[in-house]
Amino acid sequence: MKRYFARKILTYVLAFWFGATIDWVIPRLIPGDPVQAYLQRFSVQGAGSPGTWQALYKVYSKAFGLNVPLWDQYWHFWDGLLHGNMGVSLYEFPAPVTRIVWDAAPYTLALLVPAIVLSYVLGNRVGAMAARRKALDDTVLPVAYLFQASPYPWLALALAFYLGEVAHWFPISGGYAEGLVPGANWTFIWSAVQHWVLPFFTVFLVSFGGWAIGMRSLVIYELETDYARYLRSLGASQRLVRRYAYRNAVLPQLSGLALALGTVIGGNIVTEIVFGYPGLGHLIYQAINAQDYFLLQGIFLFIIIGVCLANFVIDIVYVLVDPRTRLSMQGAPA
C-alpha cells in the first residue's frame, strides 16, 4: 500500500514540477525581449529621451525579475510559487494573479465537477444497458456517436442559438444576470443556476456520448467472456450476469477517466468562452487577448494542480473498486 501510494505521489510531484517548469520555460523560449515589447505596447518609446527609456527599461526588468541570471529567475519563480505568489496581472492591474484565478475557479468547478461525474455515471449506465439490446442500441447509440463527435465550441454555439436565442429558455451570456452582485442570496443563486444550464449541458453531452459508446463495447466484450458464459450455464439470471460484466467493464473506464480529464478541461474552456461564463476558460481568453502572460501562467498552474488532485482521487477510487489492486498491495498474490 505504502509503495503504491509513494510511487503515485512521486508521479504527482514530478508532474507538477514538469508542468511548472514548462510554464516557466515557454515564455523564455520565445524570441524577443518581453520588457521591450511591454514598453512598446504602451508606446513609451517615443515619450522621452533615450535616458528615460533606459531608466524605464531597468525599472521594468527589475519589476518582472528579469535582470538576474536565468537560474536565479527559476529559483525566484519557485520561491514565489510556493508562497502562493504568482505575480501581478497585467489585464487587471494591479490585482495579484492568485486572487483573480481564485475568484474564477468556483465557476469552472461548478461546471466541470458535475459534468464529469454525471456524464461518467449516466454514460456508463446507458452504455451498459444498450449492450446486446437491439432496440436501445439502435436508438441511443447513434445519438451518443453524434454527441461524442461534436466539437465543443459547435455544440455550445448550437445550444446557445436554438435554446437561448431562438427559444429564449436560457440566458446565453455571463455567469449571472447583469447588475447582480455575487453573494448568498436567492436572486443571485437562481440567476447563476439559469446561466449554468447551457454550458453544463454542452460539457455533459459530449462526455456522455463518449462514455456510453465505450461502455457498450466493453460490456459486450465482458458478456462473451468465459466467466459470463459459465454463470449463464449455471442458470444465473441475465441481470446477475450483467451486473458482473458491468463491474469488470468499469475498470478500464476508470483509467479512461484519468486520460480524458485533459480533453474535458479543454472543452470546458472553449465552452466558457462561447457563453462568456466567468470561469478560468473565459479568463484564459481574456489573458490571451491582453497578452497577460503572468495570468496565463497562473491559470495553467492552477489547472495542473487540479488535474493532479483529480488523478489522486481516481487512483483511490480504483483501489476501492478493484479488489485485485487492494490484495496485491497487502502482499497477497494477485
Partner 1 sequence: MSVGTTPPTTAGTEPGRVATAAVAVPVGSRRWEFMYFALRNKKLVLGLGIEVVFVLAAIFGPLVAPYSAAKFVAQPNLHPSLKHLLGTTYFGEDVFSQVLFALRDSYLVGFLGAACAALIGLVIGFTAGWRGGVVDEVLQMFTNIVVMMPALVLLIVIGAYLKQHSAFFEGCFIGVTTWPWVARAVRAQTFTLRSRDFVDLSRMSGKRGPSIVIKDIAPNMASYLFLVFVLLFGSSMLIAVSYDFLGLGPTNSISLGDMMFNSQQWSALVLHVWWWFIPPGAVMTLMVAALLIANVGLDEVFNPKLREM
Positions in 275-294 near partner 1 (CB under 8 A):
284-285, 287-288, 291, 293
In the set 14, 117, 193, 313, which binds partner 1 (CB under 8 A)? 14
Using CB under 8 A as the binding criterion, the count of chain residues that bind partner 1 stands at 76
The torsion angles phi and psi of 138, rounded to 5 degrees, stand at -80, -20
Long-range contacts of residues 252-256, Cβ cutoff 8 Å, at least 24 apart: 252/214, 252/218, 253/120, 253/124, 253/211, 253/214, 253/215, 253/218, 254/314, 254/317, 254/318, 254/321, 255/318, 256/214
Rounded least distance, CB 218 to partner 1, Å: 6
Tell me the β-bridge partners of 88. Answer: 96
Beta carbon nearer to partner 1, 56 or 115: 115
In the set 82, 167, 234, 259, which binds partner 1 (CB under 8 A)? 259
User: Per-residue string for binding with partner 1, 20-59, x by CB under 8 A?
Assistant: --xx--xx-xx-----------------------------
User: DSSP character for 160?
Assistant: I
Q: Give the span between the Cα atoms of 237 and 290, in whole angstroms.
A: 62
Beta carbon nearer to partner 1, 88 or 270: 270
262 binds partner 1 (CB under 8 A): yes
Tell me the β-bridge partners of 300. Answer: none
The torsion angles phi and psi of 60, rounded to 5 degrees, stand at -70, -35
Which residues in 198-217 contact partner 1 (CB under 8 A)?
206-207, 210-211, 213-214, 217
Beta carbon nearer to partner 1, 246 or 293: 293
Rounded least distance, CB 214 to partner 1, Å: 3
Residues 6+ apart with CB under 8 A from 125: none
273 binds partner 1 (CB under 8 A): yes
Provide the CB-side half-sphere exposure for 330 (13 A, CA): 6
In the set 161, 190, 227, 230, which binds partner 1 (CB under 8 A)? 161
Rounded least distance, CB 320 to partner 1, Å: 20
In the set 86, 130, 205, 265, which binds partner 1 (CB under 8 A)? 265
Q: Which of 46, 268, 56 is nearest to 152 (CA)?
A: 268
Which residues in 170-199 contact partner 1 (CB under 8 A)?
172
Q: Identify which range of 52-60, 89-97, 236-244, 249-257 contacts partner 1 by CB under 8 A.
A: 249-257
Contact between 119 and 208 under an 8 Å Cβ cutoff? The reply is: yes
Which residues in 98-157 contact partner 1 (CB under 8 A)?
119, 132, 145-146, 148-155, 157
252 binds partner 1 (CB under 8 A): yes
> Pseudo-torsion of CA 225, 231, 233, 238, nearest 10°?
-100
Q: Identify which range of 8-16, 81-89, 91-99, 318-326 contacts partner 1 by CB under 8 A.
A: 8-16
Q: Identify which range of 5-13, 43-51, 93-101, 176-184 contacts partner 1 by CB under 8 A.
A: 5-13
Which residues in 80-109 contact partner 1 (CB under 8 A)?
none
94: helix, strand or coil? coil
Q: How far apart are the first and last CA of the chain?
A: 14
